[in-house]
Structure 1
Amino acid sequence: MHLHRMPGLVQRLFPECIWTMPATRPLLYLTFDDGPIPEETPFVLEQLAQFEAQATFFCVGENVRRHPEVARQVLAGGHRLANHTYHHISGWSHSRPDYLADVEQCRQVLAEVQPEARPLLRPPYGRITPGLARQLHQTHQVIMWDVLTCDYDPDFRPEQCLATAIRLTRPGSIVVFHDSLKASRNLRYVLPRYLAHFAALGYQFHKL
């Protein structure tokens, strides 16, 4: 079973987090988690460029450290880098000091290529506690999602992944894809078709 959108009750427990954006016109906010990596991120950038789409890349800090040239390619394409912790850790299974230290380590790496006064953060797996969310909110804008494509699931057929993502998307949706090896099969099938579908409907794609 795939949980593509968090229930409203869960969202209300985290009022500091942003789950969707105001929908005054047909805009979508595409986000890509877990990169940047040379195997998948350039493909994403190529697809986005074809539709003049901007996006936000929630980066694992150690990937930025390993592949700074790919991170710079993201910025050169007009996109935004954001924090996804340094080691892609869960806020449920690490102490608060350890988690915050990992977030800070990622922030420092990102600041070397993209200085920001108030950076964006997405907790890996969406796993944080209300107390941790409140503390993170003091230094970061915490971004969750409206549509999780589940492209990382090898048992989720590409055609089904695409159809579900299209069905759940609405104006103002924050949509999660993954520029990761695990998501490659679904990502390479779904992303170009998803972009084409919503571009044909008159949507624009903005970064957060």
Structure 2
Amino acid sequence: MMYGKASPLRSHFGKILGLFILVLVISTTVFVKNYYFNSNSLKKPNKPPSSANATLNNNRSESLDQLNPTRTSAGPIKVVYELPEKQPVVYITIDDGWYPNEEVIKLMQQYHLPITTFLIEQAAQKHPDFWLKFIKAGGHIEDHTVNHPYLTHLSPTDQKNQISQPIDYLSQFGSPPNELRPPYGDFNSEVGQAAHDSGIKYIVMWDAEMENSRFTTRSGLGLKAGDIILLHWVPGLDQELMKLLNIIQKQNLGIADLTQALTGEPLTISWIKAPIPIPKPIPTTSTETSTTTSGNPKTPGTAGTPRTSNTSGTSNTPGASNTPGTSNTSGTSNTPGASNTPGTSNTSGTSNTSGTSNTPGASNTPENPDTWGA
């Protein structure tokens, strides 16, 4: 059977249609790549947590699990994640400042540790005597903003206020800060400009972290020379610091002064010659004490302290109220979760109205919820 040949007109039309489809596909691909994936207007912004949820990471605010920032430019200011491996040393930094720890001071004195702390101004104001001791023990104090907000979510004026205001206050502990660690590692070129205008010379990031006794590095390859290590002023920091020192000692690394390294001064290096024995935490028969008194709000961003129960006298039955006309006095035990003012009647399961009630595991409202931001 014979078939007729396609007409020249139909063949020409098919070629034109195929070429048109090819051009359309290429144009669509280029548009999607250049507009959709690079358009800031289409990217989902990093929403800062509400004040109600802020305490989930209040003391672990720059977790490597939470944040893996790219090497963002900060405009006119230098950003440091790690330092050149010229010598076998690492650098220890501690953030925030809500929970000062005297045992850390003892470790600094015993092992001559040159630690740099990035302090929140509001936290520093609560314990100025401790930070003077920190400086005398060989530490450096640098800038971590007024109250730990996401800086990129602020106006340029507010960015500068957050960075420059702490410099005036923190200068009383030594020289004015010239290093900034942006909360959550959150910065851009506008933040860099605000820092530069405030007199900051370096934005200091990190590439290793000790958190909840777990050591992690950004590369996942373990600790190496030049690493900047992040910890936080949290309960039990001394235990975490000792574990970190043992990791450093095992890698045959020393601890050097971050400020000296940044400015090019000769490094003073401390060496841990032998593993540090870590004592087991002492079991507590009562709960942790709080740094605030009844009637005052808790430190912004910190979790409430569990209530203290007594071990002598009589105890209330859970869910039952006391006999009318009688009152719980100091020395009796209240139902878990309830607080009791000595000399007043107390119904089990209720909380004390004096000051701010504090349920174990719950967070208190920050002092400045409008500006807290983290």
Q: Which residue of 2 aligns with 1:203?
A: 253
Equivalent in 92, 97, 104 of residue 30 of structure 1: 92
Secondary structure in structure 2 of the residue aligned to 1:205: strand
Secondary structure in structure 1 of the residue aligned to 2:125: helix
Q: Which residue of 1 aligns with 2:223?
A: 169
Equivalent in 121, 130, 145 of residue 206 of structure 2: 145
The aligned runs of 1:102-121 (5 Å cut-off) are: 102-116=162-176, 119-121=178-180
- Determine the C-alpha separation between the residues in 2 that align with 1:115 and 1:50: 24
Q: 1:73 to 1:37 in 2, by over 3 A?
A: farther
Q: Any conservation in 1 of the 2:142–2:180 contact (CA below 8 Å)? A: yes
Q: 1:122 to 1:27 in 2, by over 3 A?
A: same
Q: Which amino acid aligns with 2:229?
A: V
1:16-41 alpha-carbon deviations (Å, 9 max, x no partner)? 21111111121110000001643x3x
Shift of 1:168: 3.0
Q: Which residue of 1 aligns with 2:181?
A: 122
Q: 1:137 to 1:146 in 2, by over 3 A?
A: farther
Q: Which residue of 1 aligns with 2:123?
A: 63
Is the counterpart of residue 132 in structure 1 residue 191 in structure 2?
Answer: yes
Structure 2: tracts of 5 or more residues without a match: 1-62, 259-374
Shift of 1:78: 0.8
Indicate the percent of aligned positions where both proteins have the same amino acid. 22
Secondary structure in structure 1 of the residue aligned to 2:173: coil
Q: 1:12 to 1:2 in 2, by over 3 A?
A: closer
1:85-139 alpha-carbon deviations (Å, 9 max, x no partner)? 11112113322211211211111111122123x6111111111122222441352
Shift of 1:56: 0.2
Shift of 1:193: 1.6
Q: 1:34 to 1:103 in 2, by over 3 A?
A: same
Q: 1:45 to 1:168 in 2, by over 3 A?
A: farther
Q: Which amino acid aligns with 2:91?
A: Y
Q: Any conservation in 1 of the 2:74–2:190 contact (CA below 8 Å)? A: no
- Determine the C-alpha separation between the residues in 2 that align with 1:203 and 1:18: 20
Q: 1:114 to 1:27 in 2, by over 3 A?
A: same
Shift of 1:167: 5.4
Task: Name the TM-score, length of structure 2 as normaliser.
Answer: 0.46
Shift of 1:179: 0.8
Shift of 1:12: 4.8
1:144-203 alpha-carbon deviations (Å, 9 max, x no partner)? 112133x2xxxxx53xx13x35953210001100013xxx35x34432021023124432
Ranked by relative contact order (alpha carbons within 8 Å, sequence separation 6 or more), the top structure is 1
C-alpha root-mean-square deviation of aligned residues, in Å?
Answer: 2.5
Shift of 1:205: 1.0
- Determine the C-alpha separation between the residues in 2 that align with 1:17 and 1:69: 31
- Determine the C-alpha separation between the residues in 1 that align with 2:164 and 2:64: 31
Is the counterpart of residue 179 in structure 1 residue 217 in structure 2?
Answer: no
Equivalent in 88, 98, 121 of residue 158 of structure 2: 98
Task: Name the TM-score, length of structure 1 as normaliser.
Answer: 0.80
Q: Any conservation in 2 of the 1:36–1:71 contact (CA below 8 Å)? A: no
Q: 1:104 to 1:75 in 2, by over 3 A?
A: same
Q: 1:102 to 1:4 in 2, by over 3 A?
A: closer
Is the counterpart of residue 18 in structure 1 residue 80 in structure 2?
Answer: yes
- Determine the C-alpha separation between the residues in 2 that align with 1:46 and 1:82: 21
Greater helix content? 1
Across the two proteins, how many residue pairs are aligned to each other? Answer: 190
Q: 1:73 to 1:103 in 2, by over 3 A?
A: same
Larger radius of gyration: 2
